[in-house]
């Protein structure tokens, strides 16, 4: 009974930690001038990634994948190869800011820092022309990139679907399901988000550091999502999937001590004491090597409880 009580206390601590992480993410959104659940890749509403009651499926003119290596299709045809890498980068930038105009000066500074205003403006004009020509080759008779009042944005009539937006929607639905006590719906939504996150935002992109802060923000959020997902799976009794999610989380953030704790709990549920010991030692070695810190008392106490409580 003591072991069960200890497990329940730990679970409560982890749920509280997840709530605290969500509060941090909300603060990050507010600091960046964003609404919760609407990251910089927010786009016009389309059907949710997993469907849903009352949703209307809309055929997108352009589909883009920004998690992992960049991919884009216009009317089912791949937008590759790119004769102008800068035009491709401009499209990525505008997709990440879909629905919000981007000042010309912001683009000039992002892609031509240190250049004179005249030179940067000329380069931007050429790049916008190249991007328009690229899109017109697949989708003629439309402007695609609109310039108004000193700002650029994608034509709202040019319907886009972006994996970042679907990811944001899935995460938001997961948090909402938890808030109303619907664990099954939350698991489904976080499962969708996990599939959509194919890797770091614009992985391998070499067009500059303009996207790095957004990439970091998504990394932080996704780690929090995976951790909360793992807790839900353990609560639901899906231990095998919890091990998979916990392992993926540690692959993304090896020093996340709470992820090591979750895997130790999962191995206890599977009655695999040797794996509990291995995970405990792996956590200890990783924290010492990477952060030069010792294990927390919470992890040590959990380990003792799991081993002695058998």
pLDDT at 250: 97
Can you tell me the mean pLDDT for 213-239? Answer: 97
Q: Is the pLDDT of residue 56 over 70?
A: no
- pTM, two decimal places: 0.79
> What distances in angstroms separate CA 230 from CA 6, 222, 240, 277, one per listed residue?
18, 12, 10, 20
The phi and psi torsions of 231 (rounded to 5 degrees) equal -60, -45
Side-by-side strand order, sheet with 71-74: 77-78, 71-74, 62-65, 160-162
Can you tell me the mean pLDDT for 242-269? Answer: 97
Q: pLDDT tens digits, residue range 239-248?
A: 999 999 999 9
Can you tell me the mean pLDDT for 197-224? Answer: 95
Nearest C-alpha neighbor of 231 from the set 178, 179, 280: 178
Domain boundaries, the chain: 2-36+210-308, 37-209
Q: pLDDT tens digits, residue range 163-195?
A: 999 999 999 999 999 999 999 999 999 999 999
pLDDT at 300: 97
Q: pLDDT tens digits, residue range 79-111?
A: 989 999 999 999 999 999 998 999 999 999 999
Question: Rounded to an integer, what distance in angstroms lies between the CA atom of residue 75 and that of residue 98?
Answer: 18
Element housing 267 (H / E): helix 257-269
Domain 2-36+210-308 has CATH 1.10.3720.10: no
Mean pLDDT of the residues in the chain: 86
pLDDT at 148: 95
pLDDT bin (cut points 50, 70, 90) of residue 29 is: very low
Q: Please give the residue that has the higher pLDDT: either 272 or 45.
A: 272
Decide which of 3.30.410.40, 3.40.50.620, 1.10.10.10, 3.30.70.660 is the CATH code for 37-209: 1.10.10.10
């Amino acid at each position: 009974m003591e072991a069960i009580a200890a497990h329940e206390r730990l679970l409560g601590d982890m749920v509280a930690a997840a709530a605290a992480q969500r509060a941090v993410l909300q603060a990050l959104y507010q600091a960046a001038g964003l609404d919760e659940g609407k990251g910089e890749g927010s786009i016009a509403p389309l059907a949710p990634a997993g469907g849903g009651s009352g949703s209307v499926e809309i055929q997108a003119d352009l589909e883009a994948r920004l998690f992992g290596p960049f991919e884009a299709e216009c009317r089912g045809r791949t937008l590759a190869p790119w004769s102008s890498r800068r035009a491709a980068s401009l499209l990525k930038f505008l997709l990440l800011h879909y629905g919000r105009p981007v000042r010309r000066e912001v683009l000039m500074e992002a892609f031509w820092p240190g250049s004179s205003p005249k030179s940067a403006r000329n380069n931007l004009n050429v790049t916008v022309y190249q991007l328009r020509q690229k899109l017109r080759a697949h989708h003629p008779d439309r402007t695609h990139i609109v310039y108004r009042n000193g700002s650029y944005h994608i034509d709202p009539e040019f319907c886009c679907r972006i994996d970042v937006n679907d990811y944001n929607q899935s995460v938001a639905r997961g948090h909402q399901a938890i808030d109303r006590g619907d664990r099954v719906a939350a698991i489904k939504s976080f499962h969708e988000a996990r599939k959509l996150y194919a890797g770091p935002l614009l992985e391998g992109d070499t067009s500059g550091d303009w996207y790095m802060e957004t990439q970091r923000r998504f990394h932080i959020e996704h780690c929090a999502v995976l951790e909360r997902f793992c807790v839900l799976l353990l609560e639901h009794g899906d231990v095998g999937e919890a091990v998979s999610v916990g392992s993926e989380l540690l692959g993304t953030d090896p020093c996340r001590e709470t992820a090591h704790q979750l895997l130790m709990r999962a191995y206890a549920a599977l009655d695999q004491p040797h794996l509990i010991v291995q995970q405990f030692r792996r956590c200890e070695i990783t924290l010492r090597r990477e952060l030069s810190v010792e294990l927390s008392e919470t992890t040590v106490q959990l380990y003792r409880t799991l081993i002695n409580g058998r």
